[in-house]
Structures are given as C-alpha cells and as structure tokens.
Amino acid sequence: MNAPIQMPSTPQADDLKDVQDILVLLSLALALIASPNTPIIIARVAAVMAQHTAIAWAELLDDLIAAQGGVQ
C-alpha cells in the first residue's frame, strides 16, 4: 500500500485527506467482497459498509464542489 500523500495543512488539504481516507475504506471493503474465501454474511456486511462509504464520499465531494462555487 502506498504512503499517504503529504500536503500542506489547509482546509482544502484536510478535505482531500478525508476523501483519501474514504477511498481507502471503500477499496478495502471491495477487496474483501471480491475475495473467494470471504463468507457470504461478511461480504454482505462489507457491501453495506461500501455503499455507505460511497454515499459519504459523494456527499463530501458535493460539499467541496459547492464550497468552490461549483454547480450543485
């Protein structure tokens, strides 16, 4: 796994760090779901977690776009 990207401490950098953390969680959940050794109940729980993570990511990006004066 790659080391986190080092960025200056600004509100935008903090937001990007949050997005990075969310994407890492999402990728871990998807890897767990894709594993053939994962029991079905664990895969279903991970799928729900991945769905909620993706929704949180979309909401965070929506807020970032709105803060930049973009179209909402």
Kindly report the three-state secondary structure assignment for every residue of 28-56: HHHHHHHCCCCCHHHHHHHHHHHHHHHHH
Residues in the chain: 72
Buried b (16+ CB within 10 A) or exposed e, 23-57: eebbeebeebbeeeeeeeeeeeebeebbeebbeeb
Is-above-0.85 flag for pTM? no
The pLDDT, as a whole number, for residue 3 is: 65
- pLDDT tens digit sequence for 31-61: 989 999 999 999 999 899 889 888 887 887 8
End-to-end alpha-carbon separation of the chain, Å?
34
How far is C-alpha 32 from the geometric centre of its chain's CA atoms? 15
